[in-house]
Amino acid sequence: MIEKLTANFCGLLAGVLITATAHAQLTIDVTTSAGRQIPVAIVEFRGEVQAPQNFTPIIINNLARTGLFRIVTTGAISLSPTEPSEVNFVDWTSRTAEALLIGGITAQPDGRFEIRYRLFDVPRQTQISSGSMVVAATQFRGAAHKVSDEIYEKLTGERGVFSTKVAYVLKRGQRFELQVADADGFNPQTVLSSLEPIGGPKWSPDGTKLAYVTFESRKSNVVVQDLLTGQRRVVANFKGDNYAPSWSPDGSQLTVALSRDAVSQIYVIPAEGGEPRRLTQSSSIDSGATFTPDGKTIIFFSDRSGGPQLYSVPVAGGDAKRLTFEGNYNTSPRISPDGKLVAFVTRDASSRLRIATLELASGIINVLTDGPRDDSPSFSPNGRSILFESKVAGRGSLGSVSVDGRIKQRLTSQNGDVREPAWGPYPQVVAAPR
Amino acid sequence: MKEKFSSAMMAISVVLLAACASKEPAKEAPVETRTAPSAPTTTAPTAPAAKPVVPVETPTLNPLKDPSNILSKRIIYFDYDKDVVKSEFQAIVQAHAKFLADNRSRKIRLEGHADERGSREYNMALGQRRADSVRKVINLLGVANDRMETISFGEDKPRAQGSTEEAWAQNRRVEIVYDGE
């Protein structure tokens, strides 16, 4: 998995969130890697030894975790290069590096640090990126994620997600905690704690709010919590069940599943709460709705044909169209950021719950994981990976799989069961510190 | 929070509370105040007696909690992926329907649950559907729907831990909960 979060975003959140710890809550292991990996040399930055925190190890971990890169060991370098003229390209070519990161960290009079970096294409002996930022010691991780994003984008052509956040539910003992962490598992913050279950967190498109389900009143309600202010608002508390929220692309509306009129139907409500508009009309279970990126269609599951299958329906109203015909249990659709793929949960003949994708244009289904109990898929904001809940031997952990199925990771917590992950959007507040 | 049950019975049932101590677990962060357990009362008309009478001891056991009473059975179990109330549980459901017919101020919640072998979202709906099956039976026996709320906890509140057939069988259920409990 790949991650991203700017120091700015972090600072905004810090005012509200309750706990902050420096260590990682989630431990990430790459379990399967891609075939070809891009060899990248990351040289320890000049002045890094004197800096209050490590910098390049964070970048190395970020890149290595994706499975897309091979980190070229640099060996002992007496004086790290910081300028192009100091780079011996022949030497780096002989070490098989295709890209090279160098840089320096300099203490500033105000106590902050200037971090400068340069990224080179080694075979072409050209600089492909450079930058500098001035950050406090507490912002080193965010700065390292930004540099990691830059390297990732320059070398793969895709936007990196090192600076994003993930939300998930942690169950420790009888207590449920809704947590938000950096996508590398660091800096977990508990945004809600309850002895009743918490479920289904979903990020607002601007990353400032979470919609989720609580059972605090001994039944399910949908709550929207503002992460900046801590304000919570119950947006759906109708008779019966109120669950499975998902945001419209403009953040103004939510779909929810309600049982107030029938067993479980899909409704659209204003994101600040209000009168629901019923979107599906069946005598069956309709649930798990997700908006397409254009906001015009909702994809959901329904068991109107027997077992649950995926369907789409226009938000403006109209007939539902069935999307899946393989297997007899397909639920919990989530659409990719580009609107081309739908990740969902499929149950196979041996009762294994597995994560699969449906390509909408072709109808091709690709089963990506083996189960036995994988659930709650969530796309990374660049659409490259799917984060999901993976229960192994009764223990809740998270997994991630690339959409091509080649790169798999497992994310575990020593503190309890992790479940129902939601990958946050790209940070909106990205005025780069200069 | 707006779907709370009436607590009108609370005042008159306080005298019986001692007989049915709450089994409600303590909640650390409640968002609403819980109602105290209540119990039906049989307040005998106090006719003014001209002469002293021999007082009669009436049984104070709450029929809903009396282990020898079928009304103390509150759990209906279901088959895998199914929402049909099986014949072996019809007697329990009928007993509660009769109690509700006889005690018209009482309301119930039907709390549906699923085992872990489905997706979380489908399990929420499956628990709801099981609760709805029980509601329909009770409704057919003459209890108005507005005296019953059906809710689901999905797979999040298992009775039994573990991933065994025995645990799963325990977890596919509907629990009948009376107002104030």
Q: For position B17, what pLDDT does the model report?
A: 35
Query: Which one of A59-68, B62-71, B93-102 scores highest in mean pLDDT?
Result: B93-102
For every residue of chain B, DSSP letters joined together read ---PPP-TTHHHHGGGGGGS---PPP-SS-SSPPPPP---------PPPSS-----------TTT-TTSGGG--EEE--TT-----GGGHHHHHHHHHHHHH-TT--EEEEEE--SSS-HHHHHHHHHHHHHHHHHHHHHTT--GGGEEEEE-TTSS-SS-SSSHHHHHHHSEEEEEETT-
Structure tokens of B55? 């007082």
Please indicate whether, in this complex, the C-beta atoms of A237 and B1 are within 8 angstroms of each other: yes
Residue A207's identity, in one-letter code, is G
Pick the CATH number of A165-423 from 2.60.120.10, 1.10.3720.10, 2.120.10.30, 1.10.260.40: 2.120.10.30
CA-CA-CA-CA dihedral for A195, A197, A198, A199, to nearest 10: 170
Least-confidence region, from A109-123, A156-170, B42-56, B83-97: B42-56
Return the residue matching tokens 């104070």. B60
Percent residues over pLDDT 70 in chain A: 89
B167 shares contact with chain A (CB less than 8 Å): no
Cα(A100)–Cα(A133) distance, rounded to whole angstroms?
19
The whole-angstrom separation of Cα A273 and Cα A130 is 46
Q: What sign does the CA torsion over B69, B74, B80, B81 have?
A: positive
Beta-carbon separation of A375 and B120 below 8 A: yes
Please check whether residue A124 touches B, CB under 8 A: no
For A322-350, the three-class secondary structure string (H helix, E strand, C coil) is ECCCCCCCEEEEEECCCCCEEEEEEECCC
**pTM of structure:** 0.83
For A368, the enclosing helix (H) or strand (E) is none
| Better pLDDT: A423 or A50 | A423
What amino acid occupies position B9? M
pLDDT for the residue B129: 95
User: Which of A99-108, A205-214, A410-419, B118-127 comes out lowest in average pLDDT?
Assistant: A410-419
Kindly state whether A216 is in contact with chain B, defined as any CB-CB distance less than 8 angstroms: yes
Record the tokens describing residue A253, joined without a space.
């509306």
Closest to A345 (Cβ–Cβ): which among B29, B119, B132? Answer: B119
Coil vs helix vs strand at A361: coil
pLDDT tens profile B117-150:
999 999 999 999 999 999 999 999 999 999 999 9
Q: What is the pLDDT of residues A261-283, one digit of tens each?
A: 888 999 999 999 999 999 999 99
Percent of residues, chain A, with pLDDT higher than 90: 72
* DSSP notation for A173-215: TTEEEEEEEETTSBS-EEEEEESS-EEEEEE-TTSSEEEEEE-
Nearest CA in chain A to B82: A307
Cα separation, A152 vs A95, whole angstroms: 20
**Nearest CB neighbour to B151, from listed A241, A257, A285:** A241
Whether residues A194 and B29 touch (CB distance < 8 A) is answered with: yes
A196 touches chain B (CB under 8 A): yes
pLDDT (0 to 100) of residue B40: 43
Cα distances from A148 to residues A36, A118, A154, A215, B149, in angstroms, run: 19, 12, 10, 39, 52
Give me the phi and psi of A153, to 5 degrees please.
-70, -40
- Closest among A188, A210, A214 to A201, alpha carbons compared: A210
Computed over every residue of chain B, the mean pLDDT equals 78
Copy the structure tokens of residue A346. Answer: 């499929």
Q: How far apart are CA A363 and CA A321, in angstroms?
A: 13
Cβ–Cβ contact B62 with A under 8 A: no
| Nearest partner of A165 among A224, A206, A222, A213, judged by Cα | A206
User: Which residues, numbered 360 to 399 in chain A, qualify as contacts with chain B under a Cβ-Cβ cut-off of 8 Å?
Assistant: 373, 375-376, 391, 394
Domain positions in chain A: 33-156, 165-423
Q: How many CB pairs under 8 A join A and B?
A: 119
Q: Measured between CB atoms, does B123 come within 8 Å of chain A?
A: no
Q: Are B100 and B143 in contact (CB under 8 A)?
A: yes
Q: How many Å apart are CA B89 and CA B82, to the nearest integer? A: 14
Mode of pairing for the β-strands spanning A99-107 and A38-42? parallel
Rounded Cα distance between A26 and B98, Å, is: 53
Take residue B30 and report the two structure tokens written for it: 């409640």
Selecting from B119, B129, B161 the residue whose C-beta is nearest the C-beta of A353 gives B119
Domains A33-156 and A165-423 fall in the same CATH topology: no
Q: pLDDT by residue (tens digit) across B3-58? A: 333 333 333 333 333 333 334 444 444 344 444 444 444 444 444 545 667 777 66
pLDDT single digits (tens) A366-393: 999 998 999 999 999 999 999 999 987 6
Query: pLDDT at position A5, please?
Result: 29
Interface ipTM above 0.95: no
- Residue B32 touches chain A, beta carbons under 8 Å: yes
More confident residue, B99 or A416: B99
Work out the minimum CA distance from B152 to partner chain A, whole angstroms. Answer: 6
Q: How confident is the model at residue B180 (pLDDT cuts 50, 70, 90)?
A: confident
Domain-wise residue ranges, chain B: 61-178
Is A241 in the B-facing interface, judged by CB distances under 8 Å?
yes
Q: Which of A7-11, A40-44, A163-167, B40-44 has the lowest mean pLDDT?
A: A7-11
Classify B61-178 by CATH class.
alpha beta
Q: pLDDT tens digit string along A143-158?
A: 999 999 999 999 999 9
A111 burial (CB, 10 Å; 0-12 / 13-18 / 19+) is exposed
Correct CATH for A33-156 of 3.40.50.10070, 3.10.180.10, 2.60.40.10, 3.30.70.120? 3.40.50.10070
The dihedral through the CA atoms of A168, A383, A334, A398 has a sign that is negative
- CA separation for the pair B67, A244 (Å, rounded): 38
- A185-244: per-residue pLDDT in tens? 899 999 999 999 999 899 999 999 999 999 999 999 999 999 999 999 999 999 999 999
Closest approach of A392 to chain B, Cα-based (Å): 11
Position B66 confidence tier, pLDDT thresholds 50, 70, 90: confident
Q: Which of residues 157-186 of A touch B (CB under 8 A)?
A: 175
Q: Is the pLDDT of residue A416 over 80?
A: yes
Nearest by CB to A239, which of B3, B122, B132? Answer: B3
Q: Could you give the percent of chain B with pLDDT greater than 90?
A: 60
Task: Test B149 with A219 for CB contact under 8 angstroms.
Answer: yes
pLDDT for residue A18: 34
List of E strands, A84-144: 99-107, 113-121, 126-135
Place of tokens 């930055």: A45
